[in-house]
Structure 1
Amino acid sequence: MISTKHFHAMIYFFLFITYSCSAGTITPPIPPVQNSYSLGRVGNAEDIQAEVESGLLLMGGSTDVDAAMRWMIERSGGGDFVIIRVSGGDGYNDYLYNMGGLNSVETLRINTAEASNDEKVYETLMNAEALFIAGGDQSQYLRLWEGSKVEEAIQYLIHEKQIPIGGTSAGCAIMGEFVYTGERGSIISQEALQNPFDERLTVRRSSLINHPFLQNTITDQHFSQRGREGRLVGFMARLKSLSENLPLKAIAVDEKTAVAIDKNGLAKVFGQANAFFLMESNADKLPEIVQKQTPLTWNLDQQALKYKTVNAGQNPTLNLKTWDWDWDGFWYVEAGELKSN
């Protein structure tokens, strides 16, 4: 008696021979290439080509700002929206897709060196019409993604394809030419101002994002809520050695708030709180005292840093190509104490 298994095998063989004789050699269908680093894709499984408009979104963390996300979607041309992260889940997929107007949304968890150089990850990024970097640990983003295929794709998306790109929390912290890496643990404002050479104050130049609108600029987030004003000034004091006498700048964003920068460099604030813009007043002058184990003094006639505070209700026109606008006043540091006038 022939078993069922053998019977099915014989039938398959008979069909194979019959089809081969009548139609030539059989080519089995190619299974779809799966991306093992994808947490899922919603919407259309097929990529589309869309007309995009460049833009940059800096979000300060905590609850995402719906209006800012819609701003990115508009500039995506209704294409494919990709989220990248090192940890966490696919919560952005349904959130963004349900806003409408997108072909698809996909989240990639890129948490190893292998993932950072994976061809399918690279392909997914290159096909994106919008890219968003979720919150997490910026030290991991920098360690895993700098110098990889992920960085190569991001640079293509910014400079060649010119899509909107954004990030929240840690994703915002890596946007500038200069970054606080956080690789040796977190540091608070008082610690940074009392010793700007604290081993946890790790700032440097980064190649990962370094958007054209953020040259000589460092970004920060969770700003007012975590009292990071003094910490940011400490970052800038340390970066003086890398700035080549060009004015150092900073953009810091509160939680539940976002700064959107359009293709012309014009900044708009969305959300519930404030965004802060800082710029050196005298780029050719060093802080008076910036030494190890010594409180920072960066006074310069009480005009070390110009500042501007903006919320969604005000929204003056700020041109980040020039940084030329009416400032609110100055921040300066005397013996480790941040002051303003």
Structure 2
Amino acid sequence: MRKITLLFLFSLQCVVAQNYTEYHTGSSTDVTTNHQPGACLMGGASEHDNAMIWFLNKADGGDVVVLRASGSDGYNDYFYTDLGVTINSVTTFVIDNAAGATDPYVLQSVANAEAIWFAGGDQYDYVSYFKDNAMEDALNNFVNVKQGVIGGTSAGLAILGGSYFSAQYGTLTTEVALSNPYHPRVAIGENDFLNIPYLSNVITDSHYDDPDRRGRHSVLLARLATDNSARSFGIACNEYTAVCIEPDGKGYVYGDYPAYDEFAYFLQANCVTDFEPETCVSGTPLTWDRNNEAIKVYKVPGTNTGVNYFDLSNWETGSGGEWRNWSIEAGTFTSTAGANPLCGALSVEDFELASIKVFPNPFEDTIQISSEKELLEIQIVDILGNSNRVKLNADYTIDTSSLSSGIYFLKLKTDTTVQTFKLVKK
């Protein structure tokens, strides 16, 4: 009987152990450090060493946890010894299922970490195992409460955006996406998983140069713009390129340009009133042209020192890059030279257009509107497309005390027109 009991207990331990595999390098004693927040998006091939040094330095000698759904301990020695940055430990968890992701020991390790890295693989594994459970809570707590640095490559990059391509029905090629933006494989999750600063309304993509994913990514933005009636945003990296986002919103781009064509791309639906695709319906090739300026893209070469950047706090300020216009006509993708859309290029004088006047600008806690026509709808949208419906008071003022400082778009609809005003709150 005792042998049978021991055999049963051993079998039970094996079943539990099969939910994840752990690889540990370094100290087993937890440490507390002066870690810093940030996010690192790596394009999907070999990691750029200087970007990874940036990532490890954020941990300030603390503990690094690597989460993956396949593979083994490839990051352990690389992080612990190869980059010359002193850290306390590296622990890799190869997660097999949701039970492994929510194991109390795994969750505690995530909570104790100062840096978390997602490896590549199949992003739907990460979505299936980590979303809508205690691991999702632990990751968001790590980012927004503990304020640790987080990052990932390939599939690990793809899940970092507030919106994401889930790969629930398999991979998606540019050809399939452009031919039918509502093909089942155009599977998108929206603001229901990770909440990382500056990425809340951004959809990310990797392996941008091999294969060419510009068209596919454009379709994802088109879907978001169509389904939500809000401007959409994206960040993408060529395979050997990384974007490292500082707490102030500046995303510094690492790569080996000019020796290699290594770029990061920052995409946004153009900041015009009619920004949505002309044709984005099931079974029909996408048309999103808008005078050849549907998507404004800042293309930034990645350098060994990461000197070039794009500012995600305003989506218009950058260094070292060039603006491009992307458009799609009946499923055919086109890229041409472009210019900064200057979405936040504001005058401090009052706005006046047709019969509507909005003032002051900049504003503080109140916006005053003067209109000769009845206002049927009022909406305030921030720079990332977050929409806020507001109430117009009897004296034609809007209470904006709940809004944080930044750039906003005030949309006013009458029976004949829709007018958009660019405003800034002090």
Question: TM-score, normalized by length of structure 2?
Answer: 0.69
Q: Give 1:271 shift.
A: 1.8
Instruction: For structure 1, list consecutive stretches of 5 or more residues without a partner in the other structure.
Output: 1-33
The code of the aligned residue for 1:224 comes to D
SS at match of 1:63: coil
Say which of 242, 258, 269 aligns to 1:280.
Answer: 269
8 Å contact from structure 1 (residues 299, 334) kept in 2: yes
Say which of 324, 331, 334 aligns to 2:329.
Answer: 334
> Could you say which structure has the higher helix fraction?
1
1:318 equivalent to 2:310? Answer: yes
8 Å contact from structure 1 (residues 282, 304) kept in 2: no
8 Å contact from structure 1 (residues 78, 102) kept in 2: yes
Q: Give 1:264 shift.
A: 0.9
Partner Cα distance (2:194, 2:139) in 1: 7
Bigger CA radius of gyration: 1
Partner Cα distance (1:43, 1:104) in 2: 4
Q: Give 1:36 shift.
A: 7.3
What are the superposed Cα offsets for residues 228-266 of structure 1, whole Å, 9 maximum, x if unpaired?
010011111111244452x21100101111100011111
Q: Give 1:312 shift.
A: 2.1
What are the superposed Cα offsets for residues 110-166 of structure 1, whole Å, 9 maximum, x if unpaired?
221211221101100000000000001001110111012211111111001101100
Task: Call closer, same or farther: CA 1:97–1:299 in 2, change over 3 Å.
Answer: same
- Moved beyond 4 Å, runs of 4+: none
Q: Give 1:187 shift.
A: 1.7
Say which of 294, 299, 307 aligns to 1:309.
Answer: 299
Partner Cα distance (1:289, 1:46) in 2: 57
1:106 equivalent to 2:91? Answer: yes
Say which of 37, 42, 50 aligns to 1:67.
Answer: 50
The code of the aligned residue for 2:43 comes to G
1:251 equivalent to 2:251? Answer: no
Q: Percent identity?
A: 35
Say which of 47, 60, 66 aligns to 1:77.
Answer: 60
Partner Cα distance (1:261, 1:242) in 2: 28
When the two structures are aligned, how many residues end up with a matched partner?
A: 307
Question: TM-score, normalized by length of structure 1?
Answer: 0.86
Which residue matches 1:230? 215
Alignment of 1:1-341 (within 5 A): 37-98=20-81, 99=83, 100-245=85-230, 247-272=231-256, 273-282=262-271, 284-285=273-274, 286-313=276-303, 315-325=307-317, 328-341=323-336
8 Å contact from structure 1 (residues 83, 92) kept in 2: yes
Partner Cα distance (1:243, 1:174) in 2: 20
Partner Cα distance (2:227, 2:329) in 1: 23
Instruction: For structure 2, list consecutive stretches of 5 or more residues without a partner in the other structure.
Output: 1-16, 257-261, 337-426
Partner Cα distance (1:312, 1:227) in 2: 18
The code of the aligned residue for 2:180 comes to N
> Could you say which structure has the higher strand fraction?
2
